[in-house]
Amino acid sequence: MSSKAEVAVSYDLDPEFFRLWLDSRMNYTCAVFDDTDDLDTAQLAKLDVLHDFARITPESRVLDIGCGWGNNLAYLTQERNVARAHGITLSEAQYDDIVRRDLPGVTVSCLDFRDFAPSETFDAVQSICMIEHVCTPEEARAGHAVARYRDYFYKAWTWTSPGAYFALQTGLRDRLPRRPEEARELSWLSKTIFPGGMTPRAEDLIMAVGPYWEVMQLRTRRKDYELTTTHWRTRLRANESEIRDRWGNELFETYDRYLTCCINSFARRHMSLSQWCLRRVDDPE
């Protein structure tokens, strides 16, 4: 699991920096471009998909594992009339931003998900591109990836009521880069932007999820993430002068390189994106 210090490298930058190049809701994950070319509309479509995958109703008690700056929590409570939604984040900056917003019906915990101990169970779970932080590169190289993911799915199982659904979105590792320079760029991205994180392989998730959750639907969206990161880089570059003035040249150049690496990696099938509809196995034994 990524440490608190490693998560801070990824997410504890000034939220105003991210606001300049993400969509208006501050979604830092892949959008869904089925019926639009507009980033804001596509990010709302993503939230719609994951809402439906989790079978959420206004009466549902919803858990969001890795809730970011609270955009999905706000969507659920303000636009889908969900009465109670709880988020987990390990980022102090994201936690502070959610608390500052004081969203009605929303509560949030700033902790390692493994330490979460709710007083009641949830009817639905969502996790949007958080599982990338569950297994470290060192654990993956040691052959522990499936075990780490299985622990994660078990924890989610213990927090839910019978009949619950789980909407999971995650990046995926796909083809290995053939050119050394492409492999070096992916290694640089992992160590610089997401230290301690590891994008899973689909086959590892399939092996890990089975005892506790049944895969009802799986959708890959590699081209959607290529387009999402292209939008992000365009917006970043449109705000280049302000970013350089406020946060320095290094931050702009690092994030421009990072987003370029993402665009290329999705285009070359080194990485992909997946959305999973999971149904709770009520008798895992």
Q: Tell me, what CATH number does 197's domain have?
A: 3.40.50.150
In this prediction, residues 198-205 reach a mean pLDDT of: 94
**Residue 285 located in a structural domain:** no
- Please write the tens of the pLDDT for every residue from 211-266: 999 999 999 999 999 999 999 999 999 999 999 999 999 999 999 999 999 999 99
Supply the pLDDT for residue 3.
79
**Residue 56 located in a structural domain:** yes
Supply the pLDDT for residue 209.
96
Higher pLDDT among residues 199 and 197, named by residue: 199
Segments forming the whole domain that contains residue 181: 4-280
Instruction: Tell whether the model's pLDDT for residue 89 goes beyond 80.
Output: yes
**Residue 174 located in a structural domain:** yes
**Residue 121 located in a structural domain:** yes
Query: What secondary structure letter does DSSP report for 1?
Result: -
Instruction: Tell whether the model's pLDDT for residue 285 goes beyond 70.
Output: no
Supply the pLDDT for residue 200.
95
Measured distance CA(168)–CA(275) in Å, rounded: 6
Measured distance CA(45)–CA(51) in Å, rounded: 10
Measured distance CA(164)–CA(123) in Å, rounded: 5
Q: How many structural domains are present in the chain?
A: 1
Amino acid in the structure at residue 228? T
**Residue 114 located in a structural domain:** yes
Supply the pLDDT for residue 195.
80
- Please write the tens of the pLDDT for every residue from 153-185: 999 999 999 999 999 999 999 988 888 988 898
Measured distance CA(83)–CA(64) in Å, rounded: 14
Supply the pLDDT for residue 121.
97
**Residue 25 located in a structural domain:** yes
Instruction: Tell whether the model's pLDDT for residue 56 goes beyond 80.
Output: yes
Task: Tell me the DSSP string of 65-108.
Answer: ES-TTSHHHHIIIIIS--SEEEEEES-HHHHHHHHHHT-TTEEE
Supply the pLDDT for residue 77.
97
What strand order describes the sheet that includes 61-65? 106-110, 84-89, 61-65, 122-128, 160-173, 271-280, 213-220
**Residue 248 located in a structural domain:** yes
Bridge partners (DSSP) of residue 168 are 127, 276
Classify residue 101 as exposed, middle or buried by CB count within 10 Å of its CB (0-12, 13-18, 19+): middle
Supply the pLDDT for residue 35.
92
Tokens of 36: 């639009």
